[in-house]
Amino acid sequence: MTADSLKTMAKRPGLKAGHFLVEFATPGIGHILKNAGCEFLLLDMEHSGFGYETVKNVIRFCEAAALPVIVRAPSREYHHIARACDAGAEGIMLPMVGTAAEARKILDAIKYHGEGRRGVALGIAHDRYRIGPTLEGLVEANKRTTVFLQIETAEGVENADAIAAVDGVDCLWIGHFDLSCSLGIPGRFDDRRFRDATGKVAEACRRHKKALGRLVPDVSTGVQLYREGFDFISFSGDVWLFQAAVAAGVQGLREGAAQIDGAAGAA
């Protein structure tokens, strides 16, 4: 099975649909999501509790299914970023980015010599244990690694144009809950202030030809956001979809049983 790289996806127009993983790091997850039609997996370290050993395993599972992985690092600290890169993450997502200076510091941690200051480790997981000339390895890693920066504060919105203008940034990703809290309107995504803020980020991405992403809870929200310019769309998360499916099934069973019991009582 073949798949576009995340770098290729970020440069091409049209929808890129994926899924958010926060709980179920099963060995089959890559093939399950690939066969469901996903083009990428967003693997969370900020809120999941996943450690780097788990992340490294999930990336191998997804490589077997030719499913690119974006790892959301737990912070913008160098050691968190570089370890996710070394584990083999094709995409790196960083939370709470507020300025272009922060974006450039992140790129220093992600990119090797020539584009950044990342400590060199070749012939390990991120280059699939291939041994080769040093310079070629550095250049290839720099070309492959795709950078997703989360805009989830009022400061990030204010500086969205400058952040999007930074060379090496591939996608701005709206962190909608945190952004709504930063704006003083927690969870009010229809509020004009929230919509104006996301519109400003979308305009920055259009101006600088960068991708725009968001996690969505349902299909209708995703379709509407695609209409507004979002092209990397993560459809819900493993916990919420699993729980909703089980809840719907259990409720259906109870309603069916109640109907049977009611008919038996009336007989």
Q: Is residue 216 part of a domain?
A: yes
Where residue 120 sits, what CATH number does that domain have? 3.20.20.60
Distance in angstroms (rounded) separating the CA atoms of residues 183 and 174: 13
The pTM of the full predicted model, rounded to 2 decimals, is 0.93
pLDDT classification of 265: cutoffs 50, 70, 90:
confident
Q: Is residue 266 part of a domain?
A: no
- Render pLDDT for 112-131 as a digit per residue (tens, 0 to 9): 999 999 999 888 889 888 88
The answer to whether residue 84 scores a pLDDT higher than 50 is yes
β-partners of residue 71 are: 43, 92
Residue 47 is among the residues annotated as catalytic for this protein: yes
Q: Is residue 265 part of a domain?
A: no
The answer to whether residue 248 scores a pLDDT higher than 90 is yes
In the chain the beta strands, taken as DSSP E runs, fall at 16-21, 40-44, 69-72, 91-94, 146-151, 171-174, 211-216, 232-237
Q: Is residue 158 part of a domain?
A: yes
Give the chain's domain count. Answer: 1
Average pLDDT over residues 63-91: 96
Q: Is residue 130 part of a domain?
A: yes
Average pLDDT over residues 83-111: 97
**14: alpha, beta or left, given left = phi > 0 and alpha = psi -120 to 50?**
left
pLDDT of residue 191: 97
Output the DSSP codes for 15-71.
Answer: -EEEEEESS---TTHHHHHHHTT-SEEEEE-SSS---HHHHHHHHHHHHHTT--EEE
The answer to whether residue 2 scores a pLDDT higher than 60 is no
β-partners of residue 233 are: 17, 214
- Render pLDDT for 174-211 as a digit per residue (tens, 0 to 9): 999 999 999 999 999 999 999 999 999 999 999 999 99
Distance in angstroms (rounded) separating the CA atoms of residues 102 and 170: 15
Q: What is the domain extent for residue 204?
A: 6-239
pLDDT of residue 1: 39
Distance in angstroms (rounded) separating the CA atoms of residues 8 and 224: 24
Q: Is residue 149 part of a domain?
A: yes
Average pLDDT over residues 150-157: 98
Q: Is residue 212 part of a domain?
A: yes
pLDDT of residue 145: 95
- Is the Cβ–Cβ distance between 3 and 39 less than 8 Å? yes
Write down the catalytic residue from 31, 47, 113, 176: 47
Write down the mean pLDDT value for the chain.
95
Dihedrals phi, psi of 252, to nearest 5 degrees? -65, -40
Q: Is residue 51 part of a domain?
A: yes
